[in-house]
């Protein structure tokens, strides 16, 4: 693994193993997550991309019989989000997640974005209004919804709903934004829109994105990690990984030769 000493680390995955009951799904994965960069996780279906992403915000704690080993350190303080004494709720505030299928709450557009702030106990109306507007601006949705903030979020189109979910995640100003195949349920135009948005967002945020779309990874991500059967096979700049991969398994995958 090559680490770039010119960039700031936002997080560091160290020797992370994970199992669902007896089934081991991640084998001692280590990788850096650089600040204000986009890192893509790629690899065949079932290789552990979603599982790795969900470790970052302790989503697995919601289910029984899951087992972590190793660390995910949040920089600069190097806090291990997997440590027993860390409250998973606190981690989920610091690390935002957007899922494959847009999942707005059955609430208004406004309340979807305000949700995380309210859960945190924020009461001040002007603060909430400002943050909702800012988040919708950042998610590229403000001009489309500013005149109908009290309308149900479920009335939005799929692409708008996904941008709303991104706004909802941004509203609590997470340190890392996790995106799990955020465009796989969207049409090509909405997909382009979200890809442009993600590229725009890295000015202010650190992003980890799972995608099965190799063009999407090479277009949007600064760094790419190739995973295979729970192992991290190769991590490099997207430029290098997609043009001169070092491992034959990476090469087979990116050239579509995987059997
Ligand atoms: N809740 C679960 N219980 C048991 N096995 C699971 C569970 N979720 C995923 N798996 C298994 O873990 C492996 C990795 O899955 P996943 O992380 O979803 O892969 P990917 O996102 O790369 O397609 C697969 O073999 C999958 O079947
Ligand atoms: Mg997945």
Strand partners for 152 = 108
Q: What gap in Å lies between CA 163 and CA 193, rounded to an integer? A: 9
pLDDT tens digits, 122-135: 999 999 999 999 99
Q: What gap in Å lies between CA 7 and CA 4, rounded to an integer? A: 6
Ligand nearest to the CA of 182: 2
Whether the per-residue pLDDT at 144 is higher than 80: the answer is yes
Ligand 1 midpoint to CA 200 (Å): 31
Nearest atom (ligand 1) to Cα of 180:
21
Whether the per-residue pLDDT at 64 is higher than 90: the answer is no
**HSE (CB half, 13 Å, CA atoms) of 159?**
15
What pLDDT score was predicted for residue 2? 57
Q: What gap in Å lies between CA 231 and CA 49, rounded to an integer? A: 10
CATH number belonging to domain 9-254: 3.40.50.300
pTM score: 0.95
- What are the extents of the domains in the chain? 9-254
Check: CB of residue 166 under 8 Å from CB of residue 139.
yes
Tokens at residue 220, please? 């949007």
Q: Whose CA is closest to atom 1 on ligand 1?
A: 20
Q: What gap in Å lies between CA 167 and CA 169, rounded to an integer? A: 5
Using most ligand atoms within 8 A of CB, pick from 23, 64, 178, 212 the residue to mutate for ligand 1: 23
> What percentage of the chain carries pLDDT values higher than 70?
98
Ligand 1 midpoint to CA 24 (Å): 10
Whether the per-residue pLDDT at 1 is higher than 60: the answer is no
Nearest atom (ligand 1) to Cα of 210:
21
Whether the per-residue pLDDT at 257 is higher than 80: the answer is no
Ligand 1 midpoint to CA 208 (Å): 18
Q: CB neighbours (10 Å) of residue 76?
A: 10
Nearest atom (ligand 1) to Cα of 21:
4
What pLDDT score was predicted for residue 259? 45
Residues with a CB atom less than 6 Å from ligand 1:
20, 23, 25, 43, 45-51
Check: CB of residue 59 under 8 Å from CB of residue 36.
no
Check: CB of residue 104 under 8 Å from CB of residue 161.
yes
pLDDT tens digits, 200-237: 999 999 999 999 999 999 999 999 999 999 999 999 99
**Rounded average pLDDT over 18-32:** 96
């Amino acid at each position: 693994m090559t680490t770039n000493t010119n960039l700031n680390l936002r997080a560091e995955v160290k020797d992370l193993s994970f199992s669902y009951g007896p089934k081991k799904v991640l084998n001692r994965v280590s990788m850096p997550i650089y600040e204000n960069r986009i890192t893509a996780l790629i690899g065949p279906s079932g290789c552990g991309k979603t599982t790795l992403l969900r470790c970052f915000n302790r989503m697995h704690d919601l289910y029984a019989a899951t087992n972590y080993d190793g660390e995910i350190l949040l920089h600069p303080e190097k806090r291990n989000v997997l440590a027993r004494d860390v409250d998973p709720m606190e981690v989920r505030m610091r690390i935002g997640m957007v899922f494959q299928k847009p999942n707005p709450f059955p609430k208004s557009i406004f309340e979807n974005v305000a949700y995380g702030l309210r859960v945190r106990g924020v009461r001040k109306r002007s603060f909430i209004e400002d943050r909702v507007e800012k988040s919708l601006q950042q998610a590229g949705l403000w001009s489309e919804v500013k005149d109908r903030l009290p309308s149900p979020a479920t009335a939005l189109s799929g692409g708008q709903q996904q941008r709303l979910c991104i706004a909802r995640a941004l509203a609590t100003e997470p340190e890392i934004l996790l995106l799990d195949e955020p465009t796989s349920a969207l049409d090509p135009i909405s997909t382009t829109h979200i890809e442009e948005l993600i590229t725009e967002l890295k000015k202010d945020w650190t992003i980890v994105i799972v995608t099965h779309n190799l063009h999407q990874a090479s277009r949007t991500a600064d760094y790419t990690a190739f995973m295979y059967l729970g192992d991290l096979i190769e991590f490099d700049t997207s430029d290098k990984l997609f043009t001169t991969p070092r491992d034959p398994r990476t090469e087979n995958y990116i050239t579509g030769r995987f059997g």
